Amino acid sequence: MFKFVSTTLLAIFIILASTENHSRTLAVTCASKCGLQPIQFTPGKRIQVKIVNHTSILIKLEKIQGTDPISLRPGQQLTLSQGDGTKPNVSLVFWNDMKLSLKAIVSQPNFGTLQVELRPNWRSHGDRSVYVRDDGRVNVF
């Protein structure tokens, strides 16, 4: 009887110990729960901004640095070069004359390209600008 109780206690201890170690391992890694890495560019490196109009309306966009507004027809895409990289900061404002809400979906297809897909947004408030900060991080406002 003593041998059975000791074997049972030993088995319970091994099971509990292995369960405890397993949960520690899961708590340390984030392989399944990390989420997407934020988009970031190397400050000072040349980048391109590719804008794609995925709406059925004409969208106007403007780089903040004193350029005139550019019209982007439905389905059209445009690539803007930023020769000095993130300095000065890349700022892009977009709107439409019908005052419809837009959603900007940003991605980084390669190390030197920021892609901005403009889509219709059915919520009352939408996105109006994309800003690449001087540290290389991207914000959508």
- HEC profile for 9-72? HHHHHHHHHHHHHHHHHHHHCCCCCCCCCCCECCCCCCEEEEEEECCCCCEEEEECCCCCCEEE
**DSSP state, 86?**
T
Q: Distances from the Cα of 37 to the Cαs of 13, 33, 138, in angstroms?
A: 40, 11, 12
Helix/strand/coil for 123: coil
pLDDT digits (tens, 9 = 90+) for 73-87: 999 999 988 755 555
pLDDT at 21: 47
Q: What is the C-alpha separation between 99 and 125, in angstroms, rounded?
A: 10
On the question of pLDDT at 113 being above 70, the answer is yes
Domain covering 47-140: architecture: Sandwich (2.60)
Confidence of residue 108 (pLDDT cuts 50, 70, 90): very high
**Of the listed ranges 23-27, 53-57, 95-99, the one predicted with least confidence:** 23-27
Q: Where are the domains of the chain?
A: 1-35, 47-140
Question: pTM to 2 decimals?
Answer: 0.71
Specify whether the CB–CB gap between 23 and 15 falls below 8 A.
Answer: no
Mean of pLDDT values over 98-125:
92
Q: What is the C-alpha separation between 98 and 72, in angstroms, rounded?
A: 14
